[in-house]
């Protein structure tokens, strides 16, 4: 048995942990405000979310309304009814601005939903693998097998089997991206499991569930948050890639990827706006999310704190 003096020495570390965490995070707001990348990226993300929420109020035009007489109008073109089309129309006369705004709902919902689901799966499996050595080998071998398969090929295969729908697309992207969360959480759990305050908690009778929830998870949130912010950008690109290939959302549902696919034939005939504006929306949103993720990583990295 461990001597009582040793237990007395280790126990205060557990009690002092919340105080130390508060001190470490006291300057988070100030550091975040000083990060231009984080603020700029957050502004882009906020605008994208605001647009998706208010799309039907900002531009009540039906994104699927067919106007054959007004097809392929250039940016700023006016149709026979006197309606201006800021981003022009496509080969079926549909308003591109309306489709970009409504398509943002699907693209962002799929990206955020898949990251949330893959994060839950990865965090749970990472905690189990890192805390219980007997489960580590099995879970990590499954992760290694999945890493050996290119993500886009695995996503295409799963999407083809499950069929096109928004729910299935979220599930497909979550299945193909849980590994990064699992491996990160596992590494943090392995390190924290051998720390002094975890040993002290175990010595005074804390159960595995309490140790994992109270000590391991609270100290592993920083890399999880950073990874999640960066994975959102990758999920936007992957969703657009699958929709471009026709294995993402059902036909007729406006997403940025499917809009780029619809407009690829018009690029040859100089109607660049059909694919150009949804492609620009993808680029700006991904850049904003990446800037926010990079800035958040710098803010949370203790090695960069002054």
- CB count, 10 Å around CB of 249? 24
Q: List, for residues 52-96, the tens digit of each pLDDT value.
A: 787 777 776 777 777 777 888 888 888 777 788 888 888 888 888
What confidence category does residue 4 fall into, taking pLDDT thresholds of 50, 70 and 90?
Answer: very low
* Integer-rounded Cα radius of gyration of the chain: 24
Residue 282 has a pLDDT of 93
Domains of the chain: 4-52+104-258+286-304 (1.10.3720)
Q: List, for residues 157-202, the tens digit of each pLDDT value.
A: 888 888 888 888 999 999 989 999 999 999 888 888 877 777 787 7
Establish how many alpha carbons lie within 13 A of residue 252's alpha carbon, considering only the half-sphere containing its beta carbon: 4
Residue 19 has a pLDDT of 52
Is residue 305 predicted with pLDDT exceeding 70?
no
DSSP secondary structure code for residue 164 in this structure? S
- CB count, 10 Å around CB of 60? 8
Q: List, for residues 137-160, the tens digit of each pLDDT value.
A: 899 999 999 989 888 888 888 888
89 three-state secondary structure: strand
Question: Of 244, 250, 95, 122, which is closest to residue 177 (Cα–Cα)?
Answer: 122
Task: Return the structure tokens found at 4.
Answer: 């009582």
Residue 12 has a pLDDT of 43
Q: The whole model's pTM is what?
A: 0.81
83-113 burial: b if 16+ Cβ within 10 Å, else e: eebebbbbeebbbbbbbbbbbbbbbbbbbbb
| Strand ranges inside the chain, DSSP E | 77-78, 84-85
5 within 8 A of 200, measured Cβ to Cβ: no
For 118-148, the DSSP string reads HHHHHHHHHHHHHH-HHHHHHHHHHHHHHHT
């Amino acid at each position: 048995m461990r001597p009582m003096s040793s237990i007395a020495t280790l126990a205060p570390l557990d009690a002092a942990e919340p105080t130390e965490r508060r001190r470490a995070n006291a300057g988070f707001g100030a550091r975040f405000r000083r990060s231009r990348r984080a603020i700029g990226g957050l502004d882009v993300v906020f605008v994208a979310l605001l647009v998706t929420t208010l799309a039907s109020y900002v531009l009540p035009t039906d994104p699927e309304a067919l106007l054959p007489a007004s097809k392929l109008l250039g940016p700023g073109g006016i149709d026979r009814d006197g309606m201006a089309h800021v981003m022009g129309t496509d080969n079926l006369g549909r308003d591109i601005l309306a489709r970009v705004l409504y398509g943002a709902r699907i693209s962002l919902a799929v990206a955020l939903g898949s990251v949330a689901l893959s994060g839950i799966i990865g965090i749970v499996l990472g905690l189990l693998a890192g805390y219980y050595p007997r489960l580590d080998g099995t879970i990590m071998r499954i992760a290694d097998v999945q890493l050996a398969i290119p993500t886009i090929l695995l996503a295409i295969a799963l999407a083809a089997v499950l069929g096109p729908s928004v729910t299935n697309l979220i599930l497909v992207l979550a299945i193909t991206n849980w590994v990064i969360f699992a491996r990160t959480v596992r590494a943090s759990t392995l390190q924290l499991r051998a720390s002094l305050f975890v040993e002290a908690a175990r010595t005074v009778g804390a159960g595995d569930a309490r140790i994992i929830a109270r000590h391991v998870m609270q100290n592993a949130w920083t890399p999880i948050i950073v990874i999640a912010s960066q994975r959102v950008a990758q999920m936007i690109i992957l969703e657009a890639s699958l929709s471009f290939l026709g294995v993402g959302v059902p036909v007729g549902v406006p997403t940025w990827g499917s809009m780029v696919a619809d407009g690829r034939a018009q690029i040859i005939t100089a109607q660049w706006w059909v694919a150009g504006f949804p492609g620009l929306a993808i680029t700006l949103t991904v850049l904003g999310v990446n800037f926010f993720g990079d800035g958040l990583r710098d803010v949370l990295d203790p090695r960069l704190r002054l």
